[in-house]
Every structure is written in C-alpha cells, then in structure tokens.
Structure 1
C-alpha cells in the first residue's frame, strides 16, 4: 500500500474528498433562508464572539469585563470580530460561523495527513473520516468556539513535530510546533496537554536543543499573546482565569461515570471501537519499542487522549460538547486501529483483508447519521427574536441578555454602562459573585440561589432599557430576583410567536413595593 516508504499518490485526492465532505456536513444547516444565523445559537460562542468584538472597541478582558479563559481566542478570532465591532454584529457573527466550517475542513486534512504518514493510507482515510463525521466536533465547528482553533493548532503541532523532516530543517519545525503549542495554551489551559504530550512523545532528533527550542517558542508565544492583557489587570487575570476555574461549583454532567459514558457514547460506537483497538496498539508499541523515535506518533496520540479524558473526569464542569477536543486524538487512534486490523486480516488472506478494509471504512460513517440529525436544528424563534428586537428596541436604548448570542443575532453587542459590569458572560459573572462571598456550593444551581450571585446582575438590569430573559435568565435569577424583575419590567410578546418575548424596564409604580433590587 506504499511505494518507497511513501503513500501512493491517490491519498491526497482521497483526503481532499473527505475534507470537502467534512465542510459540507458542517455548513449544511447554513444553506437555509436565514443563513448561518438560522442555526441554533450556543451560549459559549456568543461569549467568545462578543468578547472579541469588544476588544476591537478598546475594552480589555479582565480589566473592563470578565473573561474566564486566557485571551488567545479573542486575538485570533479578530478578523470576523472586527466586522461586528465596526459594522453589524450579526453579519460578523455569521462570518465567524462560516470561517469555523473552513477550520473543520483543514483539521480533517491534518488528521488524515498525520495518520497516513505515520501508519499508512488506510489509517489516513479512516482517521479523516472519523474526524469529519465526529458529531460533537461537527457541532463545534459551526461557530466561533475554542475547539475549532484548538484542534487546528494541535493537529498542526503534531504534523510539524512528529512527521519525518522534509524541506524544513528540524530546528524550524520544532519552533513551529512550539509556537502552535503556545497558541493552544493561550486559548485554553487544557490546550497545554498537547504540548506536554509532544515532549512525552519525543524530541525530534538526537539533540535536546530541539526540545529546548520547542519549549522556548511555546513560552514566548504564551507571553506575547497573554502577557499584554494579563499585565493590564494581573489580579483580575488570576481571579478570572485561574481562581474561578479552580473554585467554580460543579455543573453540567456531574457524575464521573456518566461523563465517561458521554465520552464513549454510542453515537460514535464503531469509530470508538476502532479507537479502542488503536489505543491498545499504541500502548503496546510504546512499551515494546526501545526508543522514543520508533513510537513517537503512538506515544503522542495515546498521551493526548488519556490526559484529556483524565482532565474531563477531574474538571468541575463537563458537557458532551467538550468531546470536540477529544476528536483529534480519538480519530487518530481510530485510524491506527483500522490499519492494524486490516494489516492483520490481509496477512491471513487477501480477500479477508479487502472485507476488513470495507468494514473499517464504513465504521466512522455510522456517525454521519448523528451529525446530520444535528444539522436539522433550525429554531424559527431565534430568527423571529432577532427581528422583534430590531423592531422594538431603539438604536440608542440599552439591551441586556442572559444569552449573549441573542443580542448578536439582533445586531447588538453587550452594553457598556458606567459603574456596571459588562454582561459578556452573565453565567460566569454571577457564579464569581457567589464565590467571592467565601461560600462554597455543591453545584451551580445552589450558587445562583445565593443572594451574593444576584446583586451585580440586578443592578445592571435596573439600568438596562430592555432585557432578553429566556430560560437561562429564569434559571439564574433567584425567586426574590424574579419578583423584583417582574415588578419593574413589562413583558411584550411578538405577534409572530408567543415564544418570542422582550422585557422593557418600567418606572416604579407609585406605592408599589419595588424598591431597590434585593
């Protein structure tokens, strides 16, 4: 299946075809009369995009608004955010979604290229198929999330660090890999796992100077991307990024067993079976081969996968979409497992090998059904909500929302009011206020029941002309806060749908027991 140690010439065309299919699968829900804005909006993508757009307007994370991740994503997401900062935020948000689909297609090529160069054409095609159809990563690569950027950089790092040297000298490849590792750490703390796995796998050459070059490049990249913004408000940076993430209450799937089940969900059952075989092969080769050079790809992918799983089991919060960061190593392991199974079968009899090849190619395609099911989600209320806000809220009025993405769809960035927090991330803002009291909570719901979580948010709502409450607002406001809110705000409903609502701040009624926020 190889010629002179290199895969046959058909493999780039196979990877290109899979990458096109991956892009179509991600962009499919955007081919709708509402375009990219008609697909369901996620809380996190609204936070990341709004924060990046505000950065263009001169507001700095940590100093001017709360942001609970390192700032790398805000800087690297700047092109689409600039459109929203200086034009219509809805247009920029749509552009960011389209760009994310392109990142997914490139990552599909990088997965396939790495697996194909390391373990052969079967591994490459199966790994690319597994990544292209991975349901969670397909969903995340439809918006300005952290995961598309992390996967792209991580897979680029692996291609530069692990594959045999070509035209680029080894020192240059080590520096490129280090820069990409630094970018990942500047986007999300867990992104540092890929850099650690690269060092565990091997130094790409006999000299330790290459490992030092990798570490120095990564360190300088982190300093360049994080340093200027962190030094602008060092105390707030430590509080928002490090303390908050370590002290936050449990949320999402809290049971560790249920988290493990989500990471091995049946929607990816056949790709996961191949990945399980690949993990066993990778561990066996890593133990059996005497030098790091001989099993570097296996060491890297196994370390990345196992460390990420362990991090998710230990984390304070976990949702199933976190599995998007597992898609890269999981797909590489699936490719390795497929190559091992086909090689084992072909050694017995050529027809058996052909049957095995067909089966392993079909395995990842099982996940396409689940990915297509997600592409069907087009909530009409979301589009109607944006239209209603544009019609009802004057340009000079302030609009607050518990879902940042809803304001973006209506062409609104989070408001900046004197003396009030900027509601880029109301969820984290209220949780941090609860934690600042010194209390500890078993879960997020208990934290939102605390009076300390309510005060700053209610003071902000008191100054906003209009509010988008929604289900998230219903959850995050306590019973006392709900009573105050209802007494001081009037609800209006769109004639197009009873599910579309907007709350307008009203002057206190004479004699009404409204007073100040509780």
Structure 2
C-alpha cells in the first residue's frame, strides 16, 4: 500500500506543469516562509505567518537549496518529497493497526492510500500530510497494541511528536486532548510524561519566534485563526462532507456527491457503533483514541467558515483506522482469504478512480510570460508567492523588498481585512516594489481600495501576460 501511495503521488507530479508550475496558493506562503527564513528574515517579526513556525523550520533545509538552484528548482525538490511523506503515513497507520490482523491492516492502509484529500494534499507543500505524520509518529510511540505503552520514555517521545505537530498546525490539539482524557486518572504515570513531552515539543520550535515578536505572534497565529471561524462566505455542508468522505471524487456532480457522502458517513458511523457494541460498550484505549480524534476533527472541520479540500487530509488517518478496525472485527466471521480479496479489489478499484481524477490535473507555467517580464533579482510583489517562487523571482537583491510579504491573504486578514491599517501595510509594500503580479484587483488577497488602484495606475505600466496582470514601475526595464 505504501508503494501504491508513492506511485500515485509521483504520477500526480508527472502531470503537466505540476512539478515546476503553479498549482496552489498555500504552498507559496508556506515554502516562501522557509525561503525568507534562510535569507535572514524572521516570521512574525519581519513578515506575517498565520501558522506556527514548525513547517517553516521543517522546510528550511530544502529552502537552503534555493541558494544553489533557485527557488523554482528547490520547490520542485520539496514537491518530490511529498509522495514519500504519503507513503510513510500509510506505513504508520499500518503499524498502529497491525495487531488487529491482516484484514484490518489491509483496509486501513488501503483507505489511507486512496483517500482523495490525502492524495491531493501531497501534490505540493501543504500542512496536513506533515500534521498527519507527526501525530501518527506520536501515536506509534504511545500505543502498544490496544493499550498505552508502559514505558515513560515512550510517552515523553510520543508527546514530543504531538507537540511538534502542534507547531505545524494547531489542529493537533484534538488528538492531544483525546490522549489526555484517556490518560486520566493516572496523572503521574501517564499524563505528566505525555503532557511534558507535548509542551516541550511545541515550545522548542515556537518559543524563540514568539519571544522575539510576542504581539505579532499572538495576532497572526491566535487572533487571526479564531477570526476565520466566523468569517464570511461559509462553505456548505455538502462540500465538506464530500471531501471528508471522499465522495466528491466518485461522483460527477455536487448533488450525487452529497447522497454518496451521506451513505459513506452512515457506514462509518455504523462501523464505529459495531466496534463499540462488539466490545460490550467498552472500546479499547486505542479505539477510544481513534474514535474520539475522528469525531473531534470532524466537528473541527465543520466549524470555520472557510474550508478547503486538503483540510480533510487530517481526517483521513483516523477515518482509515476506524474503518480498518471495524471491518477487521466484522470480517472475523468470514474467511480471511475472502475478506482480504474483497478489500484488495476495493482498494485497487478506488486507486484506479484516483488515477482517472489525477490524470486531469495540470499546473501553470509562468516562466515564458511573467518570468519574461521581470528581470532576475528585481523587487517584485504578488498576490500569490507561488507566482514568484516558480519563476525564481521571489528573492530580491534589495533587503526587505516589498516588506518581505510572503502570504498576501494572511497579511491582509491579520491586519483587519479592508481596514485602514491593512491598506497602509499594502501601500508601503507597493511603494517599495518595482514589479507587481496580480491575479485580480478584487480577489480579496490585497485590499486594493480605489486609492491603491489609483496609485498603481499613476506609478506603474501594465504589461499583458496571459491570465495574470503584471505592472512595471515607470522607468524600470521589462525582461
């Protein structure tokens, strides 16, 4: 199953322009933060980062390669690593359930391999696969079969992994809370070692940055994320269920996707109930962790107004383990060979469907358009860092170019949206830039109020480059 996950990931990157081109907004913000860091700028102090710094630190060794091969090639190297992360996550869920037998192991690893959100999340640098990775590493250290490990050191090490997962994205708090509840009432023996590991795993990568810019850290990582819960433009329940169950990749339209999602959700609930009933109403510690985390993450992903399909990748490992454990118990009455055969055929059929879905993917190559307009090492500003990273125009010879803006949308929302404060931030950045690359002047990533649009019209000339708008400061060269 790990080999199949690796193959699906590599096939995904083989699609047109998926390795070197633009395929996502978030990867530019995340990998861009690592590039800024290895070039001497610090998150929260020198530029806005609306997530904890764990991923920025994790990606920094690859970002260092940009000094040798440019930001475009270093991003491609990082993308090549993502199928390996997917394969490792498959191995880890298999390790966690292998004590339940071959049927449970095959089903769990199979679901993890073909889960659409998990595949999509590994097409480039997104946070959820790494969040999965460190949560699963932590769980492997903490659980010994269906029970907690009896070794204090393993509890601490597992806590460290969960803590670092929290430094990547705060969502790791859900499985952490599930384990804390299960540790009770054995506070000294279990809870204290685990909790101390979590605290240390989160504090070590996070505290240095937070201490250097405490107000900015709180505003960007805490206040901004809480503000997104009640944001405008709420994504519908049908879309969320389609991604959480994977039905969105199985059906041709939203209506049928919702129907299939409801069926799949009902099956998941039925398997969970069957597992609990099988245990006489007393699920094992491991099952309680899986079910509790799955439920908590499901509720979490229903809460914010914003929702993107790769969010469901954090739901994937817990849903896969829940399905695997349930099917493993139900299939115990059947012959092992029949159950294995049915599971294998199902996984291969779903993998074939994912090949069909992935075959239509493509990125956008901006080298011959935007790259031809902006000279190397110039000071450019964009409403998506990925536009500049993929053409090796993200790093400038001018220190502090365009205020080091890395996540345009995050910069805007952390400064209040279309407020005077946010407009002032962008006005200063535009005044310090010589080239602008914009997807739209009204997409919300930059609060381009009439005053800013007028300033761009007065000081810049527009150069047509396909679907993007490129503006060159008057008097500066083109190409």
Identify the TM-score tier after normalising by the shorter chain: 0.7 to 0.9
SS of alignment partner, residue 387 of structure 1: coil
Give the C-alpha shift of residue 493 in structure 1: 3.2
Answer yes or no: is 1:147 the counterpart of 2:140: no
Who is 2:427 aligned against?
Answer: 458
* 1:103-146 C-alpha deviation (Å, 9 max, x unpaired): 110110111221222x2111111111111111111111122211
8 Å Cα contact 1:251/1:318 also seen in 2:
no
SS of alignment partner, residue 410 of structure 1: coil
8 Å Cα contact 1:69/1:187 also seen in 2:
yes
8 Å Cα contact 2:243/2:309 also seen in 1:
yes
* 1:249-301 C-alpha deviation (Å, 9 max, x unpaired): 52564345653454235236587565334322344467722xxxx60111011
Structure 2 stretches lacking a partner, 5+ long: 251-259
Q: In the superposition, relative to structure 1, how do residues 202 and 428 fare at CA in structure 2: closer, same or farther (>3 Å)?
A: same
Who is 1:7 aligned against?
Answer: none
* 1:154-194 C-alpha deviation (Å, 9 max, x unpaired): 1111221122499x971221122111111111111111212
SS of alignment partner, residue 65 of structure 2: helix
Q: Distance in 2 between matches of 1:273 and 1:332?
A: 16
Q: In structure 2, which of residues 407, 411, 423 is the aligned counterpart of residue 425 of structure 1?
A: 407
Q: Does 150-159 or 478-487 show the bigger shift?
A: 478-487
Q: In structure 1, which of residues 495, 505, 516 is the aligned counterpart of residue 473 of structure 2?
A: 505
* 1:180-224 C-alpha deviation (Å, 9 max, x unpaired): 111111111111212222233447x97842321111111112121
Q: Distance in 2 between matches of 1:87 and 1:419?
A: 21
8 Å Cα contact 2:436/2:472 also seen in 1:
yes
Q: Distance in 1 between matches of 2:469 and 2:356?
A: 28
CA RMSD of superposed structures (Å)? 3.0
Q: Distance in 1 between matches of 2:42 and 2:164?
A: 19
TM-score (norm 1): 0.80
Q: Distance in 2 between matches of 1:489 and 1:63?
A: 29
Who is 1:45 aligned against?
Answer: 27
Q: Distance in 2 between matches of 1:458 and 1:372?
A: 45
Q: Does 128-137 or 141-150 show the bigger shift?
A: 141-150
Q: Distance in 2 between matches of 1:419 and 1:53?
A: 14
Q: In structure 1, which of residues 386, 391, 394 is the aligned counterpart of residue 375 of structure 2?
A: 394
Answer yes or no: is 1:493 the counterpart of 2:469: no
Give the C-alpha shift of residue 90 in structure 1: 1.0
Q: In structure 1, which of residues 119, 125, 132 is the aligned counterpart of residue 106 of structure 2?
A: 125
Who is 2:325 aligned against?
Answer: 336
Who is 2:254 aligned against?
Answer: none
Q: Distance in 1 between matches of 2:104 and 2:455?
A: 60
Answer yes or no: is 1:79 the counterpart of 2:79: no
* Residues paired across the two proteins, number: 459
Structure number with the bigger relative contact order (C-alpha 8 A, sep ≥ 6) is 2
Answer yes or no: is 1:467 the counterpart of 2:447: no
Q: In structure 1, which of residues 236, 239, 246 is the aligned counterpart of residue 216 of structure 2?
A: 236
Who is 2:205 aligned against?
Answer: 225
Q: In structure 2, which of residues 245, 250, 254 is the aligned counterpart of residue 264 of structure 1?
A: 245
Q: Which residues in structure 2 correspond to 1:177-326 (within 5 Å)? A: 177-202=158-183, 208-248=188-228, 250=231, 253-256=234-237, 258-266=239-247, 267=249, 275-284=268-277, 288-289=281-282, 295-326=284-315
Give the C-alpha shift of residue 464 in structure 1: 1.4
TM-score (norm 2): 0.86
SS of alignment partner, residue 490 of structure 1: strand
Q: In the superposition, relative to structure 1, how do residues 361 and 341 fare at CA in structure 2: closer, same or farther (>3 Å)?
A: farther
Who is 1:5 aligned against?
Answer: none
8 Å Cα contact 1:135/1:367 also seen in 2:
no
Q: In the superposition, relative to structure 1, how do residues 19 and 488 fare at CA in structure 2: closer, same or farther (>3 Å)?
A: same
Give the C-alpha shift of residue 472 in structure 1: 7.5
Who is 1:29 aligned against?
Answer: 12
Q: In the superposition, relative to structure 1, how do residues 126 and 86 fare at CA in structure 2: closer, same or farther (>3 Å)?
A: same
SS of alignment partner, residue 381 of structure 2: strand
Who is 2:143 aligned against?
Answer: 162
Who is 1:15 aligned against?
Answer: none
Answer yes or no: is 1:62 the counterpart of 2:55: no
Q: Distance in 1 between matches of 2:203 and 2:284?
A: 32
Which structure has the larger Rg? 1
8 Å Cα contact 2:44/2:220 also seen in 1:
yes
